[in-house]
Structure 1
Amino acid sequence: MDVSADEAVRGLTRPGMGTENAGPVLRAVTRMTRPRTVVEVGAGSSTLHLLLGLRDAQEEAAADRRVIGGAVTDDERASVLHPRSALDDYAPRLLVVDDISVAGTSAHQVSDAARALGLDSLLTFVERDFFDLTEQELDAWGPLDLVWLDAGTQADDAGFLAALWPRLAPGGTVVLHEPYLATTAETRDGRTACRVVPTPLVQDLRRQVAVPQGEFDVLTLSEPHKHRQTGLLLLRKHAAWERDRGVPFTEELQALGETPSVGVPRLGAAPRQPILAALADATRRTVHSALVLNPDTAEGLAARLGTAPAQVTEALTVLQRAGLVSYEDQRWSAVDEVWQP
């Protein structure tokens, strides 16, 4: 970060807001994803990090277009670039919504700081309460690529998500501040102790994503040295190209010419909800029951059950993801351990 930008960020940073680590992450995410339309709810030092990330991304995109267009020779860089990135100019923008009503923040300084850094052309500041915006005003923003939420309560976060998630473009990302909260708990000896736990919103989103064919990813980043204003929650909406191909893990490895040393890595105990979801379909129940009775190949199962091979493969993919079946020695079998407590 250049000296003037560093000074500007320090001038807007408030220790109680807890974004000293979140800001640089937001800048990096912006550079990585090159979003065209970014929305921030709750202005402050993070606004400058987002603007600096957009400036960096714009400069890098222009340099990459010169490489792809042949104006600059850089074979190593060209080897990793997608040719489509040279189709048009990259013209990002940041829409910031803040009514500047919260005491102790630096929201009222954001516009002047952006202007001093020459970044004001990327910024549109909407001095309003987010929940006063109409559906038509939100629609006018177009598809959103990156959203940063750092204002209000847990209930407000739920409201922000309800309004903005449908407007998030496929492949887009929402970042929320403070996925954990401090609470108190009574210990066995009767003392009261502070505990940091996932927020109700995080818990529910984890339940939503833990099903077959989930449509988004959830990642929390913790700051274990804090008990408030801690960490980040990242939600990424799947794009169409990320759809499940319907082919089991081990078969795809073999198609790539790789020999799997193990089956699908099971990271922890298989939760019950994905199991129930996997068995909610009649075809999947039939395939699973058949494997409980006798391990078999996918082709053998299709012949035994009189079911189309594509349906059997799709069923096996979902059952494998739920931990109900495994693939070894070119045969499928039921996993009994999944039912252990």
Structure 2
Amino acid sequence: MHDPAGEALRALTRPGMGTENAGPALRALARMLRPRTVVEVGAGSSTLHLLLGLSDARSEAAEDRRIVRGEVAAEERASVLRPRSVLDDYAPKLLVIDDFSVPGTSAHRVRETARTLGLDAMLTFIERDFFALADHELDAWGPLDLVWLDAGTQADDAGFLTSLWPRVAPGGTVVLHEPYLATTVETYETHETHDTYAGQDRGRVACRVVPTPLLQELRRQAALPDAGFDVLALGEPHKHRQTGLLLLRKHGAGERDRGVPFPEELRALGEIDSAVAPRLGPAVETSGAETAGAETAGTGIAGTEAADGILAALADDTRRTVYSAVVLQADTTQGIAERLGMAPARCAKSLAALERAGLIASTEKLWTPVDDVWRQAAPRRPRPRPQAVIPSKQGKRRVFLEGLVPLFAPDRRYPEAEVNEILREVHPDVAALRRHLVEERLLARADGRYWRP
């Protein structure tokens, strides 16, 4: 069967150069993430993989839109879709920055191939040195959902990230090639001695594949509290060059740590109480503030935990129906099932989940509602911390403002609305706090965005 895209990819790909896995992975990412704005630094066969992935995603998005609108019957697919996310037209674009300075580059052929395959409407070539682009030119691209960096050295990659990361949208992903490198390391021949280097002879030089300096630095940053991004390095153990992919994903707006222990969240979801969190690294310490007010009071769940448990329990249609039946009339499991025309086993499962949430209780085989649970949930919610007072004297105000700087992550640009949200927890006059922070040069501001200088 004739496959124009496959033939074009084979013509663009240099055999043995090690990109045979990276390209298909990028195509799969484009389908999975459905990015609207994609940036690639360094054109090549990967450009075509990205375009094909965006074309696949566009076709799938159009089909999902028809399903949500009821034009196509597909119940199972409809059950997993978020309607609001698929109703808008999906029109992705790929911006490729390449100055064609690399000898033997296939960039010109990529552009011609995209035109032949009818994919050029999504493609914009920027024939420039990336580092010659001005800030306003980068800003004009809008929020970036997917970035592919495959050009230059480790220092170049660091420069690309410095420029592009603040412009990556929440939930956006940056992909880099070669997170590992082959290098030589000096080993020692050890003689019998207790001294560290006495009795050791230099002389053996071995080749090792190790994480790149950039990967090590990014792992250190990601390990810090509130880093705001995840790091995943995928290696290819059978190679020592052109190996693997490095993925950096910026956290979305709703991905802050909720501060609730793992077993308690499972219980709120109606799952088993005996689950133990897996320990893949050092134990995570839980502060006293996170566990305060967690004492049980009659129903087994209190305060915020009770409220979360109620919401989780009543998020299910069947459990809401069963709970309504109990509220209207105390009854046995069999009686409730018969009144609702429901299988007893299914009814019993919903009753057990409602009991764990503290909404109902069993007395003399009758299920009755627990009215107290609603009063217990609301008063125990965490109280907002007291508002601070902005010192009037410049010296004291400077010290006060310096204490606010850690609220903002380094190397991240915040829109003004998010800055206001953060500062409102400190003092209601967020405009004054913003102004003081900028005047003291503790925050920088440009084009409606703020960052730590």
Same fold, TM-score > 0.5, yes or no: yes
Residue 38 of structure 1 corresponds to 38
Alignment of 1:71-150 (within 5 A): 71-150=71-150
Separation (CA, whole Å) in 1 of partners of 2:281 and 2:85? 39
* Runs (5+) with no aligned partner, structure 2: 190-202, 297-379, 384-453
Residue 170 of structure 1 corresponds to 170
Deviations 1:35-65, CA, capped at 9 Å, x for gaps: 0000000100000000000000000000110
TM value normalised by structure 1: 0.79
C-alpha displacement at 1:74, in angstroms? 0.9
Residue 64 of structure 1 corresponds to 64
Residue 268 of structure 2 corresponds to 255
Flag the 1:45–1:247 CA change in 2: closer, same or farther, 3 A.
same
Separation (CA, whole Å) in 2 of partners of 1:297 and 1:135? 49
Alignment of 1:170-249 (within 5 A): 170-189=170-189, 190-249=203-262
Separation (CA, whole Å) in 1 of partners of 2:4 and 2:175? 27
Question: Greater CA radius of gyration, 1 or 2?
Answer: 2
Flag the 1:262–1:44 CA change in 2: closer, same or farther, 3 A.
same
Q: Which amino acid letter does the alignment assign opposite residue 230 of structure 1?
A: T
State the Cα RMSD in Å: 2.4
Flag the 1:238–1:24 CA change in 2: closer, same or farther, 3 A.
same
Separation (CA, whole Å) in 1 of partners of 2:243 and 2:105? 17
Deviations 1:178-230, CA, capped at 9 Å, x for gaps: 00111101233432211110011111111111123330111010011111111
> Is residue 142–residue 167 contact of structure 1 (8 Å, CA) maintained in 2?
yes
Flag the 1:114–1:244 CA change in 2: closer, same or farther, 3 A.
same
Separation (CA, whole Å) in 1 of partners of 2:86 and 2:130? 35
> Is residue 97–residue 130 contact of structure 1 (8 Å, CA) maintained in 2?
yes
Flag the 1:7–1:118 CA change in 2: closer, same or farther, 3 A.
same
Flag the 1:269–1:242 CA change in 2: closer, same or farther, 3 A.
closer
> Is residue 41–residue 96 contact of structure 2 (8 Å, CA) maintained in 1?
yes
* Runs (5+) with no aligned partner, structure 1: 279-283, 301-307, 312-341
Residue 325 of structure 1 corresponds to none
Residue 153 of structure 1 corresponds to 153
C-alpha displacement at 1:105, in angstroms? 3.1
Q: Which amino acid letter does the alignment assign opposite residue 163 of structure 2?
A: A
C-alpha displacement at 1:269, in angstroms? 4.1
Q: Which amino acid letter does the alignment assign opposite residue 91 of structure 1?
A: A
C-alpha displacement at 1:266, in angstroms? 1.1
C-alpha displacement at 1:87, in angstroms? 2.7
Deviations 1:110-134, CA, capped at 9 Å, x for gaps: 1011111110111001111100111
Q: Which amino acid letter does the alignment assign opposite residue 149 of structure 2?
A: L
Structure 1 segments of 4 or more deviating over 6 A?
A: none
C-alpha displacement at 1:250, in angstroms? 1.2
Separation (CA, whole Å) in 1 of partners of 2:177 and 2:273? 39
> Is residue 36–residue 92 contact of structure 2 (8 Å, CA) maintained in 1?
yes
Separation (CA, whole Å) in 1 of partners of 2:74 and 2:180? 45
Deviations 1:74-99, CA, capped at 9 Å, x for gaps: 11111111111333210000000011
% identical equivalent positions: 72
Paired residue total: 287
Separation (CA, whole Å) in 2 of partners of 1:241 and 1:220? 24
Q: Which amino acid letter does the alignment assign opposite residue 84 of structure 1?
A: R
C-alpha displacement at 1:15, in angstroms? 3.8
Separation (CA, whole Å) in 2 of partners of 1:165 and 1:263? 36
Flag the 1:199–1:142 CA change in 2: closer, same or farther, 3 A.
same
Q: Which amino acid letter does the alignment assign opposite residue 86 of structure 2?
A: A
Separation (CA, whole Å) in 2 of partners of 1:16 and 1:177? 16
Q: Which amino acid letter does the alignment assign opposite residue 232 of structure 2?
A: L
Separation (CA, whole Å) in 2 of partners of 1:100 and 1:51? 19
C-alpha displacement at 1:17, in angstroms? 4.4
Match of 2:188, SS state, is: coil
> Is residue 299–residue 309 contact of structure 1 (8 Å, CA) maintained in 2?
no
Q: Which amino acid letter does the alignment assign opposite residue 171 of structure 2?
A: G
Deviations 1:229-248, CA, capped at 9 Å, x for gaps: 11000000011122222211
Match of 2:80, SS state, is: coil
